[in-house]
Amino acid sequence: MRGFKQVQKLLLVAFAVIAASFGVVACGSDNGGGDSGSSGGAVKGDGVKAGTGTRAEKAIAAGTAAGTEAGAKTLEPKTIGIINFLGGIESSDRLKSTAELAATKLGYKSIVCDGKGTPTVFVTCGNSLLDQGVDAIVEIAIEPGTIQPVLDKANKKDPVVPIIQIGGGAVPIGDLAGTYGPDEIKAGQLLTDYLAKELDALPEATVPVIVHDFPAAWGKLRTDQFRKFVKTQDKIKIAATTITDAGNLVQSTRKIVGDQLTANPDVKAFWFTFDTTGQVGGQVITAKFPGKAFPDKPLVATFHADLGTLDLMAKGNIDVTSEANYDAASWIALDQLASAWAYGTEISKVEQPIYPGVGDLFGYQIITKDNLPTAGEYVAPPVDVVSFFNAKWKAQYGV
């Protein structure tokens, strides 16, 4: 692995490149969108909304029970500062919008600052929010070392201003009050299991796979699961491994995938650890094999079923996605803050807290063409997180 500062710099450049290459959208409204279990079309950046039917009923029952057991309390007015990693990136805007939605549900005010994908702006945002008197800060996918001056300043406040990271899996806790994101090992294992089954069924004695990894902890954790599997058998082999060039992500991925297809005409699958490289690479592969589908063209596997990825899956550019409801991190963070203020409880240091009746809220699942949601809709997660917390907070706080 590369050093932390270099990895963080690469990530920042990557997000900036993505925004420039794919275009950006305005920050989503809290009132729009939905999941495939809800009414209305989704809006990029708004995130998953409350569902309907038995999934919602189960979540409401579990939330009501959890809230009733906690006991009724009255919430005091609070202000939540939100540092958005980079406005215009769907994943970042989803977390921002869901944090705002959750805060509003609790009667809290929100102040959002766009970090613009730049470390100095992250710090400026954090200091500005503290100077405005926020009671807590929720930051999106920013590692603590990048905003250490803000953490130091927040911890010197009386009372201390808790800062929580949301959305990023495998983010170190450092001086954060909490950090919530998907289990990247579980997400990687899920995709590994799918690939193992699909590729093992092929008649070839040797099945070559090309891996596109990303220089970050979450990327390594995902891809390590596939690497470990490959070592356990003799049929599926890694023919080539590429570490994504975050400084030239789109153009370099296009060229490298094209070159790899030429050099490895028998390749049967591509593993893209980063969803954007999957989007770029998938289109290159489809162009090389027009009108064909796996196994007559390489299988394309990646992570996160954002709307852009789902659109490409519907067109046949991407075959499979390992999905996790990372929106859940926003709801968990606001729930932890409300509980800390209302009951005096300690904010959980567990990255994926388990909630009674529903368990792990991130809801890992494999998405393929066979279970795509309606066009324009997000994937309905196994747990209706929004309905769960709405019911929990109604029982606890009467909101």
Domain at 149, CATH number: 3.40.50.2300
Q: How many domains does the chain have?
A: 2
Same domain, 33 and 165: yes
Same domain, 101 and 205: no
CB 129 within 8 A of CB 83: yes
Q: What is the pLDDT along the chain (399 residues), one digit of tens a residue?
A: 333 344 455 556 555 545 444 333 333 233 333 333 443 466 777 888 888 899 999 999 999 999 999 999 999 999 999 999 989 888 899 999 999 999 999 999 999 999 998 999 999 999 999 999 999 999 999 999 999 999 999 999 999 999 999 999 999 999 999 999 999 999 999 999 999 999 999 999 999 999 999 888 889 999 999 999 999 999 999 999 999 987 788 999 999 999 999 999 999 999 999 988 999 999 999 999 999 999 999 999 999 999 999 999 999 999 999 999 999 999 999 999 999 999 999 999 999 999 999 999 999 999 999 999 999 999 999 999 999 999 999 999 999
**Pair (70, 96) in one structural domain:** yes
- What does R_g of the chain's alpha carbons equal in angstroms? 21
Same domain, 314 and 333: no
Are 172 and 198 within one domain? no
Confidence (pLDDT) at 127: 99
Rounded to the nearest 5°, which phi and psi values hold at 211?
-110, 130
Residue where a domain terminates, one of 289, 323, 357: 323
Same domain, 351 and 318: no
Cβ(43)–Cβ(28) under 8 Å?
yes
- Within 106-248, residue ranges assigned H as helices are 119-131, 148-155, 184-200, 217-230
pTM (2 d.p.):
0.87
Distance CA 310, CA 321 (A): 9
* Domain hosting residue 266, numbered range: 184-323
175 and 277 housed in the same domain: no
Tell me the three state secondary structure of residue 263. Answer: helix
d(CA 21, CA 37): 32
Of the candidates 289, 304, 323, which is a domain's last residue?
A: 323
